[in-house]
Amino acid sequence: MKTTLRTPLSSLFVLSILLTPAASQTSQQSAQPEAAPLFTFQEVMIPVRDGVHLQTVILAPIVQKGPLPILFRRTPYGVPDKAPTEMPVSWKELAKDGYIFVVQNLRGRFKSEGVFKLSSQVDLNDPRDTNETTDAYDSIDWLVKNVPNNNGKVGMYGVSYDGLTTALALLHPHPALKAMSEQASPVDQWMNDDDHRYGALRESYDFEYAVLEQSDKNKNTHFEFETYDTFEWYLNLGPLSNINAKYLHGSIPYWNSTIDHPDYDEFWKKEAWVNQLHSSTVPNLNVAGFWDQEDPWGPWQIFRHAEQNDPDHTNFIVAGPWYHGQWRTAKADSIGLITLGGHETAREFRENIEAPFFRYYLHGEGEKPQWQASIFQTGSNSWHTYAAWPPKEAKATNLYLHSDGTLSFAAPGAKSARAYRQYVSDPANPVPYRQRPISPTYPAGDWRTWEVADQRFVEDRPDVLTFVSEPLDHDLTVTGPLAADLFASTSGTDSDFIVKLIDVYPQNAQKNDWKDEDGPKPGQYAQSLNGYELPIAMEVRRGRYLESFETPHPLKANKPIEWNVPLRDHDHVFLKGHRIMVQIQSTWFPVIDRNPQKFVPSIYKASASDYVSATQRIYCSPDLRSHLVLPVMP
């Protein structure tokens, strides 16, 4: 295996945002004397119940007038080696209220003792078991007893893996844990989020992240691709078994676990820690991004599980127009080419939602949130609060696919031109999930914003079906969970179907800002939003798991069956003059591994000869009405 150490980004960029000052300085600035630190710095090794010691950094304000609450974050990405001399951008709003910030490396990472398992398994019935839940409990117990001048109240927060370690504390919270904000936490790595989507492997992400985390406990190590375009590298790789045969040679435990457990067996069910959560025991501010390219699903599942028993109404959800962790950046006033109406959504979230939440529960100041959901609605570019989520006034409305390539709220009639549309899916020529060349997932380049990329780059492919509505004559607001209900068949015995719901901008959406006689500046014409095809929701379903996640079944060739494709929660306005588009395809590579389209017991053990072309049909007849289900607001 070729690996190289590079500056960590993507999930790791969250760490730098949390811990470091503004990035670049001029040489003149760097020559100036270093500014005084804003916090005292103490590194300790906190003992937990099995005798392991965890590397922990404690940052207390230089000027502390009285006891303060502790804000605690647990991470696999490394702790600071000194106190910051400039306020980290994501601490600015919190620091005004005063906190003792504590950052801890997980067991087995960097100087922390023990073994890092890259696992969310928690067995509360085994008194000998140690895990992220028990380590959080023991660490909080030590902190409130040993950190000088704390007020006995602890809050936890974090994004991505740090969000997971925050959320896992919900399973057995320490009495001093008075508030938390899990942000983009995964909950069930087979069902959705980082590693799979309903059993379909997120090939490039799962492989590259496993290498990043388990190649070296003291480094964040990136796989070094010998091919510039990773699309080409993964395609030339061939069957997934070649990853171990040619590169890893069994050296990465998490990758081994992935390929050893293709189906939803006990291994993955134990990883699905959220199934142990049935009530709101600690006030929790869940945070999700609508275009989170890594963990868009988990926060909604935590929110729904905690809602099962929430007598004190302390379970909240916040969602916005963000990629993974973007709400921890300075402004988040845009994502890709999509501007957000002048809103600095990250700052607004921290200033108006996150800081008041912790202020109320840890300082006893301000007031409890009067809403259950606070959402930045895309399209209208405005913040909305909801007393309940999803809002009761949203009405499930079918948007039908028609065989002439149109979309409408009218169902297909008896005079439909034909019963279906079809295409040929060839695993040897898969549809790329973003425009080529595709850079490695880490260090992150366009990985962060690929979910808002203009989908015109695949619209003319013969293996992508496109359905589009007429321009809307009024704003259409969809608020709540979306879904697709397809009737489809394949000439093979296994298949994937990917569904994309897209907001198509008018051709005159954006005025040209150049003089006619000069023309556009280099690259400017391509940067326009005119005719832009903005993905709102995208998801994949794998045919072998339609009947059972635990036991895969082959499909019957050429037989139309129903495919339910959840498209997650959204709050979006399709503006007047825009059109609604649906794209359907059967490959999405290499973010999703190629389905051989011939049923085999395990795709991870498929041979090259198992990969075959298949004819895919989407039915749009009066009897088989493929449609999307949209929660339309009055």
> 15 near 90, Cβ under 8 Å?
no
What's the confidence (pLDDT) of residue 524? Answer: 63
Based on its alpha-carbon atoms, the radius of gyration of the chain, rounded to whole angstroms, reads: 25
What's the confidence (pLDDT) of residue 6? Answer: 33
Arithmetic mean of pLDDT, 49-72: 96
Domain chopping of the chain, boundaries: 3-23+33-187+272-386, 395-510+526-632
* Whether pLDDT at 604 is above 80: yes
| CA–CA dist 501, 336 (Å, integer) | 18
Confidence bin at 511 (pLDDT 50/70/90): confident
Tallying the residues shown for the chain, one arrives at 634
- Type of residue found at 21: P
Q: Long-range CB contacts (< 8 A, 24+ apart) of 458-463?
A: 458/431, 458/432, 458/583, 458/585, 459/533, 459/583, 461/431, 461/585, 462/423, 462/424, 463/423, 463/424, 463/425, 463/426, 463/429, 463/431, 463/585, 463/586, 463/587
| CA–CA dist 115, 137 (Å, integer) | 18
* DSSP string covering 160-220: THHHHHHHHGGGS--TTEEEEEEES----TTTSSSSEETTEE-HHHHHHHHHHHHS-TTS-
What's the confidence (pLDDT) of residue 527? Answer: 79
What's the confidence (pLDDT) of residue 23? Answer: 36
What is the distance between the terminal CA atoms of the chain, rounded to a whole angstrom? 56
> 615 near 555, Cβ under 8 Å?
no
Q: What is the DSSP letter of 508?
A: T
Q: What is the DSSP letter of 61?
A: E
* Whether pLDDT at 2 is above 50: no
Give per-residue pLDDT as tens, 292-340: 999 999 999 999 999 999 999 999 999 999 999 999 999 999 999 999 9
Arithmetic mean of pLDDT, 240-245: 95
> 320 near 340, Cβ under 8 Å?
no
> 548 near 465, Cβ under 8 Å?
no
| Residue among 585, 588, 590, 611 nearest 599 (CA) | 611
> 13 near 326, Cβ under 8 Å?
no
Residue with tokens 């069957």: 239
Name the β-bridge partners of 222: 4
What's the confidence (pLDDT) of residue 433? Answer: 98
What's the confidence (pLDDT) of residue 517? Answer: 62
Pair of tokens at residue 521: 């500046």
* Whether pLDDT at 57 is above 60: yes
Confidence bin at 151 (pLDDT 50/70/90): very high
> 424 near 463, Cβ under 8 Å?
yes
φ, ψ for residue 498 (rounded to 5)? -110, 130
CB within 8 Å of 586: residues ≥ 6 apart: 423, 425, 431, 463, 490, 495, 496, 497, 498, 595, 597, 614, 616
What's the confidence (pLDDT) of residue 510? Answer: 85
Arithmetic mean of pLDDT, 440-444: 83
Give per-residue pLDDT as tens, 451-466: 999 999 999 999 999 9
Which CATH architecture best describes the domain 395-510+526-632? Sandwich (2.60)
Give per-residue pLDDT as tens, 248-290: 999 999 999 999 999 999 999 999 999 999 999 999 999 999 9
Please give the mean pLDDT across all residues of the chain. Answer: 92
φ, ψ for residue 292 (rounded to 5)? -70, 115
* Whether pLDDT at 31 is above 50: yes
Axis crossing angle, helix 298-306 with helix 161-168, rounded to the nearest 10: 10
Pair of tokens at residue 397: 């409305």
> 204 near 10, Cβ under 8 Å?
no
β-strand pairing of 614-619 with 533-542? unpaired
* Whether pLDDT at 18 is above 80: no
Give per-residue pLDDT as tens, 477-505: 999 999 999 999 999 999 999 999 999 99
- Type of residue found at 60: A
Arithmetic mean of pLDDT, 566-574: 98
Arithmetic mean of pLDDT, 99-105: 98
3-state secondary structure of 155: strand
Q: CA 420 from chain center: how many Å? A: 34
Confidence bin at 219 (pLDDT 50/70/90): low
Confidence bin at 213 (pLDDT 50/70/90): confident
Any idea which fold 3-23+33-187+272-386 has?
Rossmann fold (3.40.50)
* Whether pLDDT at 15 is above 80: no
| Residue among 290, 310, 309 nearest 300 (CA) | 290
Confidence bin at 515 (pLDDT 50/70/90): low
What's the confidence (pLDDT) of residue 216? Answer: 72
